[in-house]
Structure 1
Amino acid sequence: MSAVRTPAPRSVDDLEATFRDRFDAAPDGVWFAPGRVNIMGEHTDYNGGFVLPIALAEGTWVAARRRDDDTVRLHTDSPDVPDPSASVHLGELHDGESVGWASYAAGVGWAAAQRGFDVPGLDIAVTSNVPTGAGLSSSAALSCGTARAWVDLAGWSLTDTEVADLGRDAENHIAGAPTGLMDQLASVCGRSGHAMQIDTRSVEITQIPFDLSAHGLALLVIDSRAPHALVSGEYAERRRSCQEAAAALGVPALRDATVADLDGLPDLLLRRARHVITDSARVEQVAALLTDGSDPRMIGPLLNQSHLSMRDDFEITVPVTDLIAETAVRAGAYGARQTGGGFGGCVIALVDQDAAETVAEACVAAATAENFNEPASFVAVPSDGARRIS
């Protein structure tokens, strides 16, 4: 069996049939929102820095129908959800009070109400092929797919950034997930064949050419299957350290500092700040290489540098992702790094197209030899953002 297995897309016909079965009516439409993988720039977003994600071909499909009350009824076919059906009254949602997995969808309605919109209820059925727990923003795909559906059905006039912001507020305030805006912007604003250089301070998005196949290359995503979790204490420590470093340097955020400024900081704060500053700079370096027509293979060393920075300075890698990144490079990848918030999740590897299988097999062999879970790999294809499909 191949070690590279693309997640199968979901059937819109099946989703519509599920909707009719659950809600005794046809949906008003079906929307799709992608997951994302970040090429460069980890933990730079809440420090005002740069990030470089792509939207994936994998994502979440949302069938929705407008209601005449404030009820949101939801159903998912996800086997990872203990209770696949939920019902929420929007008027009963409160900041900081989660309603389980339904928070990512129903929370969008709460966020819209906070902005003064007249928010109708919805019936919603969802299906997804984004691997959960892998740090590929399956939650942002759900919140942004729902946001796009709600905007269309309610007739709100919103920019793409405002749509993404609804998704972020749902995650931050109702689901209790401490995300920045990168995941939602990537899900909403993705463009086929491009990566997005996002200035998280100005929220300016620059579409960067990222057509690897034209160069005989592929971006291999290797899911370590070590569940990605933004461990509350660890994540809070990283944010706190960054804030303390910025305060000690007398700058609003680490975006405003340079590595040369860090002399004299305590070792922990120095290392945390150094990762943020250098990873944000690597985003700009990668974007410049891709924009000026350089061979994309040249970004490989920057991927390797980023992984070492996350491992040694920010300390958010885990033994299995370290092993996978090292193995991928030994097996022929031009560069590899853990991607996402850390403490598990996926590694990305820049490989020749015809070497993807070899690299993936090497990573399986290395991980299982050390009694880790068997990794699962697929090729990431830069794709379009959230949209209505029927």
Structure 2
Amino acid sequence: FGVEPSGFWAGPGRVNLIGEHTDYNDGLVLPFAIDRWAVAALRLRSDRTIRLATDYVDGVVETTLDRIGPAGLSGWSAYPLGVVWALGEHGADLTDLPGFDLALTSDVPVGAGLSSSAAIESAVGMALNEAWQLGLDRQTLARVGQRAENVVVGAPTGIMDQSASLLGAPDCAVFLDCRSLDAEVVPLGLDAAGIEVLVVDTRVSHAHADGGYASRRTACEAGARILGV
């Protein structure tokens, strides 16, 4: 946008060590953050305008804070704009905040099961939380990211991805109870043991908003209803 940003904020991708499809079933998960990141460069404006750009696609998306809502958003901008809306759902007064210019870049592969979307939501949430001085903790920002993805993007994800991105630490996993949202950062001790976890690209891509993920969640919810649990 022709000016220096106020700062840079990053959210890593994640891999789940154990606990597949148990996050939205109120179960236990053990993910960890990886060394690929979405990075947001942000600068506040003096008006209500929002301008978004990414090196993923050409062009600039422009809107205003007065037009932010859960409906009618599509494409890549639904992720950062969804976070803006969800912050309003978690206490931010969007009627009394300035707009911003935000540029995104990411080396988290899209559609590879590494939560590129949660990485974007986490980076944007961290950026706006600090720039707008909202004072939200990281677990709340995880709920903000999940809310954006569920309602605005239309992907029925649980809380695991955003929690791993926002709470992850080097050589650690995040032990998360998805019912209580209690989280504990657990040292793995891989570095000391000379061990690495390899994340292998299988060349299979997916989208959370359609296909197998949504049908698996529907099946899980149907099973819970039938069993009365």
Whether the TM-score (by the shorter chain) exceeds 0.5 is yes
Alignment of 1:238 with 2:225, yes or no, is no
Other-structure match for 1:198: 176
Q: Which amino acid aligns with 2:70?
A: D
Tell me the alpha carbon deviations over residues 275-324 of structure 1, each in whole angstroms, 9 at most, x when there is no partner.
Answer: xxxxxxxxxxxxxxxxxxxxxxxxxxxxxxxxxxxxxxxxxxxxxxxxxx
Matching residue of 1:91: 66
Corresponding position of 1:152: 130
Is the counterpart of residue 66 in structure 1 residue 41 in structure 2?
no
Residue 102 of structure 2 corresponds to which residue in structure 1? 124
SS at match of 1:47: coil
* Alignment map for 1:332-351 (pairs within 5 Å): none
Structure 1 residues 244 and 177, CA, compared in 2 at 3 Å: closer, same or farther? closer
Cα deviation, 1:182-239, whole Å, max 9, x if unaligned, reads 1111111111111011100000112222132322321111111211233625333322
Aligned-partner residue type, residue 136 of structure 2: L
Q: What count of residue pairs does the alignment treat as equivalent?
A: 226
Whether 1:104 and 2:104 are equivalent positions in the alignment is: no
- Which secondary structure state, in structure 2, belongs to the residue aligned with residue 46 of structure 1? coil
| Aligned partner of 2:204 among 212, 218, 226 | 226
**1:130-149, aligned counterparts within 5 Å?**
130-149=108-127
After superposition, give the CA deviation of every residue in 1:317-356 in whole Å (9 maximum; x if it has no partner): xxxxxxxxxxxxxxxxxxxxxxxxxxxxxxxxxxxxxxxx
Which of 31, 36, 50 in structure 1 is aligned with 2:14? Answer: 36
Alignment partner of 1:50 is 2:28? yes
The equivalent position to 1:163 in structure 2, one of 109, 130, 141, is: 141
Counterpart position of 2:154: 176
Question: Cα RMSD over matched residues?
Answer: 1.7
Q: Distance in 2 between matches of 1:232 and 1:61?
A: 26
Give the match's secondary structure for 1:156: coil
Shift of 1:84: 4.4
Cα distance per residue 1:31-86 (max 9 Å; x no partner):
111111111111111111011100112111111001233322111112xx3x4421
- Structure with the larger helix share: 1
Match of 2:35, SS state, is strand
The whole-number CA distance in structure 2 between the counterparts of 1:159 and 1:171 is 19
CA distance in 1, matches of 2:209, 2:78: 19
Partner Cα separation in structure 2 for residue 147 and residue 175 of structure 1: 15
Task: Please report the TM-score for the alignment, with normalisation by the length of structure 1.
Answer: 0.55
5+ long unaligned stretches in structure 2: none
Contact (CA 8 Å) 1:36, 1:136: kept in 2 or not?
Answer: yes
The alpha-carbon deviation at position 96 of structure 1 amounts to: 3.7
Of 183, 202, 208, 2:186 maps to 208
SS of the residue 1:55 aligns to: strand
Tell me, yes or no, if the aligned pair for 2:28 and 2:177 is still in contact at 8 Å. yes
* Matched residue type, 1:94: G
Q: Normalization by structure 2: what TM-score?
A: 0.91
Distance 1:60 1:142 in 2: 5
Secondary structure of the residue aligned to 2:149 is: helix
Secondary structure of the equivalent of 1:73?
A: strand
Q: How does 1:242-257 map to 2 (within 5 A)?
A: 242-251=220-229
Q: Which 10-residue stretch deviates more, 232-241 or 40-49? A: 232-241
**Radius of gyration: which is bigger?**
1
- The one-letter code of the counterpart of 1:111 is A
Does the CA-based 8 Å contact 2:65-2:99 persist in structure 1?
yes
Q: Aligned with 1:42: secondary structure? A: coil
The CA deviation at 1:115 is 3.2
- Aligned AA (2:47): D
* Residue in structure 1 matched with residue 55 of structure 2 by the alignment: 77
Single out whichever of 192-201 and 66-75 deviates more from structure 2: 66-75
Query: Does structure 1 retain, via aligned residues, the 8 Å contact 2:156–2:214?
Result: no
Give the letter for the 1:125 counterpart.
Answer: A
The residue type equivalent to 1:113 in the other structure is G
Which is further off, 236-245 or 130-139?
A: 236-245
Sequence identity percentage:
45
Specify the code of the residue in structure 1 equivalent to 2:116.
S
> CA 1:177 to 1:70, structure 2 compared with 1: closer, same or farther past 3 Å?
farther
Instruction: Give the direction of change, closer, same or farther, for the CA distance of 1:235–1:150 in structure 2 (3 Å limit).
Output: same
Structure 1 unaligned blocks of 5 or more: 1-22, 252-390
Local SS of the residue matching 2:196: strand
